[in-house]
């Protein structure tokens, strides 16, 4: 679909699919207050079936010639039909199939994922220290996630780490995470906290900025900035020793200007922007013209400058 482009030259090339709106962790920046101590039973709406999901993805691919599909959640490894969905996307001729996971179920899933066509995974890991990990996620057993990461690398999956750094919560984990990543030759990206869900309008108190993160790392390493790739969310730096790390600076260095991301939730709604809470339902569409109109609406949802926050939880839309 050649005409789907906004006045800034933006179109949709990456589809992020939230497969499921439940999770087996209760992270502070996603579902839980920092004073909660247990993972609660999150409400679950009925998700669309895997075959319906593949039909919608196929339809979107026909219109948009998608380059990348990232599967998210909630926690996508809890999605029962994950492997058939990965294989179905691969069969559409899309090679860049990626996943964002908390890694809890990764050890037993990594081989199957790779075999089905998964190329790379981002593992969310906000602490190496067990107590801090519990404070951040309300679950224990970092070792289980590290085993999942090792198995994934051994299987041939490209692995990156994502660590949300929150002021007063886990900024002391920057070096333990960096040491682990450097020792194991894994690329790590630190993320600024986002004003989403229950942190909408109150993320400021937790904001540990890109500047803060770089300042901390500079106390031990010399590094220089690398060029940013088009439509990338992360800025990257390379240390004198040759290690690369990134910062996803949603707040202090927004990246709306060349954003190419479209989101599909587990109910068959698309969102053109993470800042927009208005779902556009494409579940029952089987007319190309109508789909194009809805995609135009989604494109018009994009912010021009920066993410402005959203009441939608990451559990619903995948962050």
Interstrand relation of 158-165 and 120-124 (parallel, antiparallel or unpaired): parallel
Q: Which stretch binds ligand SF4 (CB under 6 A): 152-160, 238-246, 268-276, 282-290?
A: 268-276
Q: Which one of residues 157, 245, 261, 295 is an interface residue with ligand SF4 (CB under 6 A)?
A: 261
* Site track for ligand SF4 across 272-291, x = CB under 6 A: -xxx----------------
Contact call for residue 128 and ligand SF4 (CB under 6 A): no
d(CA 25, CA 46): 20
Q: Which stretch binds ligand SF4 (CB under 6 A): 60-68, 148-156, 191-199, 301-309?
A: 301-309
Among candidate residues 283, 275, 280, the one with its CA nearest the CA of residue 302: 275
Q: Which stretch binds ligand SF4 (CB under 6 A): 91-99, 190-198, 252-260, 280-288?
A: 252-260
As measured in angstroms, the least distance from the Cβ of 129 to ligand SF4 is 31
As measured in angstroms, the least distance from the Cβ of 15 to ligand SF4 is 12
Interstrand relation of 96-101 and 68-72 (parallel, antiparallel or unpaired): parallel
Q: Which stretch binds ligand SF4 (CB under 6 A): 16-24, 113-121, 181-189, 269-277?
A: 269-277
As measured in angstroms, the least distance from the Cβ of 220 to ligand SF4 is 31
Q: Tokens 């090339």 — which residue? A: 13
- Token pair in block for residue 249: 């600076």
d(CA 176, CA 183): 11
Strands (E), 120-210: 120-124, 158-165, 187-192
**All residues at 6 or more sequence positions from 309 whose CB lies less than 8 Å from its CB, including other chains:** 194, 195, 196, 200, 201, 203, 275
Contact residues: ligand SF4, CB under 6 A: 255-256, 259, 261, 273-275, 302-303, 307
């Amino acid at each position: 679909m050649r005409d789907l482009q906004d006045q800034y030259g933006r179109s949709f090339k990456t589809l992020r699919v939230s497969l499921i709106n439940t999770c087996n962790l209760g992270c502070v920046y996603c579902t839980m207050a920092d004073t909660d101590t247990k993972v609660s039973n999150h409400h679950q709406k009925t998700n669309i079936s895997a075959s319906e999901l593949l039909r919608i993805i196929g339809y979107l691919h026909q219109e948009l010639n998608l380059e990348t599909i990232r599967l998210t959640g909630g926690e996508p490894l809890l999605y029962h039909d994950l492997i058939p969905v990965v294989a179905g996307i691969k069969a559409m001729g899309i090679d860049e199939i990626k996943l964002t996971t908390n890694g809890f179920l990764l050890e037993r899933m990594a081989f199957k994922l790779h075999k089905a066509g998964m190329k790379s995974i981002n593992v969310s890991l906000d602490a190496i220290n067990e107590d801090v990990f519990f404070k951040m996620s309300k679950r224990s057993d970092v070792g289980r996630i590290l085993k999942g990461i090792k198995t994934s690398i051994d299987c041939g999956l490209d692995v990156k780490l994502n660590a949300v750094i929150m002021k007063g919560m886990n900024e002391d984990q920057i070096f333990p995470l960096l040491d682990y990543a450097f020792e194991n030759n894994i690329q790590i990206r630190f993320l600024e906290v986002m004003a989403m869900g229950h942190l909408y309008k109150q993320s400021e108190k937790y904001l540990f900025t890109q500047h803060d993160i770089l300042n901390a790392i500079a106390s031990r390493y010399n590094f220089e900035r690398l060029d940013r790739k088009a439509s990338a969310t992360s800025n990257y730096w390379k240390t004198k020793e040759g290690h690369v790390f990134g910062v996803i600076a949603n707040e202090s260095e927004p990246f709306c200007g060349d954003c190419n991301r479209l989101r599909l939730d587990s109910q068959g709604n698309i969102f053109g922007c993470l800042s927009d809470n208005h779902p556009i339902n494409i579940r029952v569409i089987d007319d190309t013209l109508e789909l194009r109109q809805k995609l135009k609406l989604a494109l018009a949802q994009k912010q021009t400058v920066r993410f402005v926050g959203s009441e939608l939880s990451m559990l619903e839309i995948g962050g």
